């Protein structure tokens, strides 16, 4: 496969051929909550009609890039520029679909080695060219928007040709992979040898090792297998001031951990070229389980007890009342849904909250953890219908993002956002964020449907992940999105939450960073950046330097 060809379609999620009509049950629920914009059909514009700024790569820089990489790997054709100009946030999708692209890289560069990345950054520094590192382009926080404040030009450096799994160390249980390796390619290679990284973000199929490490990504199995930041033992990073090569060590007391400084740096300090990650042996068994609770409180209490007593389910996902109802509304058969609701009603569960769980490992161990988990779920008045809901959720877990594209065509905007907080505040936070989002959109005359789930457990707390639907305000889509984002962001930082549990900061969350970390920490971060990136070329306008414009 030629990895320099984009894996995702240029205007939306994933590949063609996976879209389907919105299921009648889901449409009914959206109509009831948000109103359905009858007769709306807003498909994305043609690629040829996309309005791009002119490419401004200076000739002297281009010839240096051509000489280093070969002209075939310095591309500025329309398709390449557009497909590297935006991630998959709502503002990105609005810009892509309408064809109004105020920013795009002047060229996309495809280095094939660490040495080439080192050299490219040296050239960009000398030539005053802004650099946007690019993995899979799935950022949902404006992480790859091609800002160039005060620079002569802006290039995107794609890691697509650094696509090798370099080593599987069976004794240490680690894998060393180059930054441009995509999720499925890494897992295929690991699983063929009996291992797994266990890192499955919903964007798994289209995101990369370098992207995960740069954003502190969390996967759907991170409760059991760990977030990516817990699993990095070594990494290589090229910076404009030179390379940083941190060899893998299981632990160290040599001062603050430099790996943790680079993990989550979102391309603002340098380009991660390879990482050494913890892997596990493939589990002997994976046991699904599922429960319906009468309310969010009892489900959350059960999860807390499971985590704090060391059961550590490998997958744990508790949907609130709205999300459970939306999931059930998408069930193919109304009869099936009605039967299930009647079954639950008969057991006192009228507003069900679904919890899906999975226990991985040796069969005996997984069985005993599941039995202990069941005892806790029962104690919290959960009702079991076996493992089928978990199996069904797993089957569809990578396909739900396609629904967002379809709904945008039909005039419904869909935003997702996440936070994390301590158990002591989580339930209040769950309500406050939902209410503030609902108010921000109702005030604009576009009432919302807000769904939420818990998907990552820690002994001290958990994550909350929101999905918000509302009718798009035609002509004021960005203002509508800003109102929603501001309401949610303020509610998170004002009530003990983080502005992001795993989507990272990018441009979109940058306005809240100082509130979360304090100004002094930001100044420390900027001082570190000044050392490795004195010209400030690395991913301007993101993380510590956002927000900014062109
Ligand atoms: C539908 C959908 C579902 C998602 N689900 C999840 C989820 O479950 N969990 C989760 O954590 N995230 C999720 N995300 C967000 C996104 O997929 C993650 O942030 C992911 O880690 C980004 O990887 P990527 O390879 O696509 O990176 P990109 O989007 O290309 O880049 C992300 C950021 O990292 C920088 N970057 C990329 N590669 C490098 C590198 N090698 N060196 C330095 N900087 C680099 C970029 O400049 C950018 O700032 C989802 C996104 C979408 C659209």
Every domain of the chain and the residues it spans: 165-281, 285-396
Q: Is the CB of 142 under 6 A from ligand 1?
A: no
Q: Is the CB of 140 under 6 A from ligand 1?
A: yes
| Mean pLDDT score, 202-221 | 97
CB of 92 within 8 A of CB of 23?
Answer: no
Q: Is there a common fold for 165-281 and 285-396? A: no
| Sheet architecture: strand order including 232-239 | 165-169, 174-178, 271-278, 232-239, 242-246
ipTM above 0.90, yes or no: yes
User: Annotated catalytic sites, by residue?
Assistant: 465
CB of 468 within 8 A of CB of 407?
Answer: no
Fold of 165-281: 3.30.465
The residue among 423, 436, 440 whose CA lies nearest residue 493 is 436
CB of 332 within 8 A of CB of 378?
Answer: no
The structural architecture, per CATH, of the domain 285-396 is 3-Layer(aba) Sandwich (3.40)
Residue 546: predicted pLDDT: 59
Listed in sequence order, the DSSP H helices in 286-385 are: 296-308, 321-329, 334-346, 363-379
CB atoms within 10 A of CB 483: 19
Q: Cα(101)–Cα(409) distance, rounded to whole angstroms?
A: 19
Residue 549: predicted pLDDT: 40
Q: Answer yes or no: is 324 a known binding residue.
A: no
Instruction: State the average pLDDT for the chain.
Output: 95
Probe target for ligand 1 pocket from 181, 214, 502, with the most ligand atoms within 8 Å of CB: 214
Ligand 1 closest atom vs CA 273:
41
CB of 172 within 8 A of CB of 194?
Answer: no
pLDDT at 41 over 80: yes
Element (H, E) at 4: none
Q: Is the CB of 105 under 6 A from ligand 1?
A: no
Probe target for ligand 1 pocket from 15, 19, 138, 498, with the most ligand atoms within 8 Å of CB: 138
- pLDDT band (50, 70, 90) for residue 429: very high
pLDDT digits (tens, 9 = 90+) for 157-209: 999 999 999 999 999 999 999 999 999 999 999 999 999 999 999 999 999 99
* β-strands 174-178, 195-196 pairing: unpaired
């Amino acid at each position: 496969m030629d990895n320099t060809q984009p894996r995702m379609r240029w205007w939306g999620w994933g590949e063609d051929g996976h879209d389907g009509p919105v299921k009648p049950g889901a449409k009914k629920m959206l109509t009831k909550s948000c109103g359905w914009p009858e007769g709306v059909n807003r498909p994305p514009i043609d690629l040829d009609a996309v309005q791009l700024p002119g490419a401004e790569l200076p000739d002297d820089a281009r010839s240096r890039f051509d000489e280093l990489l070969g002209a075939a790997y310095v591309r500025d054709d329309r398709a390449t520029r557009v497909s590297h100009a935006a991630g998959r946030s709502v503002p990105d999708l609005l810009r892509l679909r309408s064809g109004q692209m105020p920013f795009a890289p002047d060229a996309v560069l495809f280095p094939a080695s660490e040495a080439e990345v080192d050299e490219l950054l040296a050239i960009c520094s000398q030539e005053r060219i802004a650099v946007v590192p690019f993995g899979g382009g799935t950022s949902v926080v404006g992480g790859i928007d091609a800002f160039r404040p005060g620079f002569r030009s802006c290039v995107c450096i794609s890691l697509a040709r650094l696509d090798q799994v370099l080593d599987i160390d069976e004794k240490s249980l680690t894998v060393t992979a180059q930054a441009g390796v995509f999720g499925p390619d890494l897992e295929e290679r690991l699983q063929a040898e009996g291992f797994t990284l266990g890192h499955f973000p919903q964007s798994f199929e289209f995101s990369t090792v370098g992207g995960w490490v740069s954003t502190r990504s969390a996967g759907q199995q991170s409760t059991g297998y760990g977030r990516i930041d817990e699993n990095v033992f070594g990494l290589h990073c090229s910076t404009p001031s030179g390379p940083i090569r941190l060899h893998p060590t299981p632990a160290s007391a040599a001062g603050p951990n430099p790996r943790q400084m680079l993990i989550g740096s979102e391309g603002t300090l340098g380009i991660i070229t390879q990482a050494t990650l913890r892997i596990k042996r493939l589990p002997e068994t994976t046991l699904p389980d599922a429960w319906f609770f009468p309310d969010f409180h009892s489900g959350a209490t059960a999860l807390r007890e499971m985590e704090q007593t060391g059961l550590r389910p490998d997958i744990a996902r508790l949907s609130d009342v709205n999300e459970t109802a939306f999931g059930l509304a998408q069930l193919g058969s109304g009869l099936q849904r009605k039967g299930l609701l009647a079954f639950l009603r008969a057991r006192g569960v009228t507003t069900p909250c679904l919890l899906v769980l999975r226990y991985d490992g040796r069969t005996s161990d997984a069985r005993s953890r599941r039995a202990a988990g069941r005892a806790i779920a029962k104690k919290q008045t959960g009702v079991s219908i076996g493992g089928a809901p978990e199996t069904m959720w797993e089957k569809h877990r990578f396909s739900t993002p396609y629904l967002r594209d379809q709904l945008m065509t039909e005039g419904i905007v869909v935003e997702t956002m996440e936070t994390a907080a301590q158990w002591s505040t989580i339930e209040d936070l769950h309500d406050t964020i939902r209410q503030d989002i609902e108010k921000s959109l109702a005030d604009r005359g576009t009432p919302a449907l807000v769904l939420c789930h818990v998907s990552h457990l820690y002994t001290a707390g958990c994550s909350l992940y929101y999905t918000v639907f509302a009718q798009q305000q035609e002509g004021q889509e960005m203002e509508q999105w800003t109102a929603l984002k501001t309401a949610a962001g303020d509610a998170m930082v004002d009530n003990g939450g983080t502005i992001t549990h795993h989507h990272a900061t990018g441009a979109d969350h940058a306005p809240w960073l100082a509130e979360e970390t304090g100004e002094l920490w930001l100044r420390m971060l900027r001082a570190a950046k000044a050392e490795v990136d004195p010209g400030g070329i690395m991913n301007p306008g993101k993380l510590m330097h956002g927000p900014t414009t062109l």
